[in-house]
Amino acid sequence: MSMVRFDQVTKRYSKSKDALSDVSFELQHGEFAFLTGHSGAGKSTLLKLMMLMERPSKGEVFVDGELLNRMKPSRVPFLRRKVGVVFQNHQLLFDRSVYDNVALPLLIAGYSPSEVPRRVRAALDSVGLLGFEKRNPIELSGGEQQRVGIARAVVNKPQLLLADEPTGNLDPELSEEIMNLFLRFQQVGVTVLIATHDIALIERMGHRRLILDHGTLFDKGAGSDKNAGPDKGDANGH
């Protein structure tokens, strides 16, 4: 069973134009893929469909074997707990500490408060921010803020990790660092899908590419000729 399956999905916001048209693809458990395309190609829409921030106009979306189309609103939060999301603008709350930001998904999922600190520290450790717990996110650099966002996305150990332009505001060096972080999560079994238009970076890293062009999806498979990074061998893993 695949982690994500889109079956002839169309999303239409207005009558004139489809944001996504007839999109079909699958992501296997533990797969790592990039989602790319010009701005306005429908990358965000595709990610939103997996979070039920939007519902498809046509076709079927499955996440972890569950059909999302007619999922009751009361079930949606439980879907979102299985999916970690990282945003370009990281969506951190500046009225609370790094610790409280990362702890939020755990409190929401109903972990007992005695269990939360250990998991928060583990998540911060995994993004290299151990010791930043008491800081306010506003004091941190862009890259550090993005890593707090990633820690929050993974603290609940989601099966699926989505990222929408996670390196959009970062310089190339930091971008690569963030991407390597995502790779590490894939190595421990998380399915990762990253939307980005940073073509240079994608080409360096290889891996499967889903390319959106005006709402139509092209599946490029693993990066081919320009695959020159260190750990690219069997990026798809399946």
Partner 1 sequence: MAIKPSSAGASAHQIRLRNRLSGWSQQHQLVAVETLVRLLRQPFASIMTWLVIAIALTLPGAVWMTFDNLTQLSSRFQQSGSISVYLMPGTREEVAVGLQNALNAEDSVAKVSYISADQALSEFRRSSGLGDALDLLPDNPLPGVIMIEPDLRAAPAEVKAMIARAEHEPAVDAVVMDDAWLNRLEALIALSQRVVWVVSVLLGISIVLIVGNTIRMSIANRVDEIRVMKLVGATDAWVRRPFLYTGLWYGMIGGLISWLLLILGWLLVSGPVRNLASLYGSEFDLHPLSAAVALILLLSAMFLGWAGAWWSVVRHLDDIEP
The answer to whether 158 contacts partner 1 (rule: CB under 8 A) is yes
Q: Among residues 63, 91, 219, which one has the least CA distance to residue 166?
A: 91
Q: Residue 75 or residue 226: which is nearer to partner 1 going by CB?
A: 75
Q: Is 207 in the site for partner 1 (CB under 8 A)?
A: no
Put residue 214 in one of left, alpha, beta given phi > 0 → left and psi -120 to 50 → alpha.
left
Closest-CA residue to 169 (of 146, 190, 137): 146
Beta strand pairing call for 4-12 and 58-63: antiparallel
Binding segment toward partner 1, per CB under 8 A, in 132-140, 158-166, 202-210, 217-225: 158-166
Residue 16 C-beta: closest distance to partner 1, Å: 24
- In 188-220, alpha helices (H): 199-205
Nearest Cα to Cα of residue 159 among 27, 44, 9: 27
Could you say whether residue 105 binds partner 1 (CB under 8 A)? yes
Instruction: Give the shortest CB-80-to-partner 1 separation in angstroms.
Output: 4
Does position 95 interact with partner 1 (CB under 8 A)? The reply is yes
Nearer to partner 1, 123 or 202 (CB): 123
Q: Rule CB under 8 A: is residue 159 a binding residue for partner 1?
A: yes
Provide the minimum distance between the beta carbon of 103 and partner 1 in the complex, in angstroms, as a whole number. Answer: 11
Question: Residue 111, interface with partner 1 (CB under 8 A)?
Answer: yes
DSSP H/E element including 34: strand 32-37
